[in-house]
């Protein structure tokens, strides 16, 4: 794709799609905006969203308008994103409905203020395509319900999340996720990710506080 301003180093993550689910309308509108503004790089991020890069910075307000927004999306104060796999409805290995849980979890917890970027992965079975063990909050399905893991990180100092509880129903796993995040909010230092918090936290004490 040829670009307007390849040296601009602009990089913006687009609003939506939520959990990587797109519609024909979304894609058609996005394609129209890409062509109109000659955006040189369009990329799927690891968070199952689209990023656009390399456009002229001064074109940004019009790009947001063309995408149906009056202004750039605000940076989230808590959960950065929720990834979810297709789950039991769409994948033959699925044990639980990860997309449906992702919607419920988002409705319940996206507005919760948190001390640092918080990534959530939800997988429909233990194959864990959404990499729950390296997410701040991970939830994956088994035949008997959801397993919740907490404190994972896939960054420069990786950490596998700790299993907090298993065999949970939808409402139970959302309630437990909220208690884990509230513990995080109350005990983490400013900008401290869950992995660092859990490194200096006794797991038994954490479980006693949230279970």
Q: Which residues bind ligand SF4 (CB under 6 A)?
A: 85-87, 91, 93-94, 123-125, 127-129
In the bound complex, what is the minimum distance in angstroms from residue 134's beta carbon to ligand SF4?
14
In the bound complex, what is the minimum distance in angstroms from residue 141's beta carbon to ligand SF4?
7
> Which residue lies nearer to ligand SF4 by CB, 26 or 93?
93
In the bound complex, what is the minimum distance in angstroms from residue 94's beta carbon to ligand SF4?
4
> Which residue lies nearer to ligand SF4 by CB, 128 or 147?
128
Q: Are 134 and 154 in contact (CB under 8 A)?
A: yes
In the bound complex, what is the minimum distance in angstroms from residue 190's beta carbon to ligand SF4?
34
> Which residue lies nearer to ligand SF4 by CB, 133 or 184?
133
Q: What residue has token string 């917890």? A: 109
> Which residue lies nearer to ligand SF4 by CB, 59 or 101?
101
């Amino acid at each position: 794709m040829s670009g307007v301003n390849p040296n601009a180093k602009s990089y913006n993550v687009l609003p939506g799609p939520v959990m990587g689910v797109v519609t024909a309308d979304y894609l058609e509108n996005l394609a129209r905006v890409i062509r109109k503004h000659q955006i040189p790089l369009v990329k799927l991020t690891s968070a199952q969203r689209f990023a656009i890069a390399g456009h002229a910075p001064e074109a940004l307000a019009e790009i947001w308008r063309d995408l149906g927004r009056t202004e750039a999306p605000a940076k989230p104060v808590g959960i950065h994103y929720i990834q979810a796999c297709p789950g039991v409805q769409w994948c033959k290995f699925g044990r639980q409905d990860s997309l449906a849980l992702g919607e419920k979890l988002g409705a319940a917890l996206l507005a919760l203020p948190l001390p640092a970027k918080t990534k959530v992965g939800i997988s429909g079975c233990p194959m864990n395509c959404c990499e729950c063990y390296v997410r701040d909050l991970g939830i994956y399905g088994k035949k008997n319900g959801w397993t919740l893991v907490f404190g994972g990180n896939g960054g420069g100092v990786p950490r596998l999340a700790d299993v907090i509880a298993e065999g949970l129903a939808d409402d139970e796993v959302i309630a437990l996720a909220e208690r884990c995040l509230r513990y995080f909010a109350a005990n983490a230092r400013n900008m401290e990710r869950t992995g660092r918090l859990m490194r200096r936290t006794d797991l038994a004490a954490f479980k006693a506080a949230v279970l």
